[in-house]
Structure 1
Amino acid sequence: MDKQVRMEIRRANGTRAVTKPVQKVIGPEYSMSFVCFECKTSNMRQYDVTPCDYPNSSVCPVCGNTTINLGRNFKPPKKSDLAQWKKVKFLVDNGFVFQKIRVERNSIESIPYPETLSEAKEFVVRYRKWAIKRAI
Structure 2
Amino acid sequence: MDRNTKKALRWDSGYRTKPIKPDKASFSSSKYSMAYACLDCKTSFQRSFPGAPCDYPLHGQCVSCGGVTYNLGRHFKAPKKSDIAQWKKVAYLVHHGFYFQKIRPIKNSYFSVSYPSTLAEAKVFVKKYKKHALI
Same-fold call, TM > 0.5?
yes
Pick the aligned partner of 1:14 from 4, 8, 13: 8
> What number of residue pairs does the alignment pair up?
126
Q: Could you tell me the TM-score, scaled by structure 2's length?
A: 0.82
Alignment of 1:50-89 (within 5 A): 50-89=52-91
Pick the aligned partner of 1:103 from 92, 102, 105: 105
Q: Could you tell me the TM-score, scaled by structure 1's length?
A: 0.81
Residue 14 of structure 1 deviates from its aligned partner by 3.3
Residue 129 of structure 1 deviates from its aligned partner by 0.8
Q: 4+ residue runs of structure 1 moved beyond 4 angstroms?
A: 15-24
Write the distance in 1 (CA, Å) between the matches of 2:116 and 2:134: 17
Unaligned runs of 5+ in 1: 1-5
What is the DSSP-based 3-state SS (H/G/I as helix, E as strand, rest coil) of the residue aligned with 1:38? coil
Q: Percent identity?
A: 50
Write the distance in 2 (CA, Å) between the matches of 1:23 and 1:114: 46
Unaligned runs of 5+ in 2: 12-17
Write the distance in 1 (CA, Å) between the matches of 2:90 and 2:111: 22
The answer for the alignment partner of 1:3 in structure 2 is: none
Q: Determine whether 1:48 maps to 2:38.
A: no
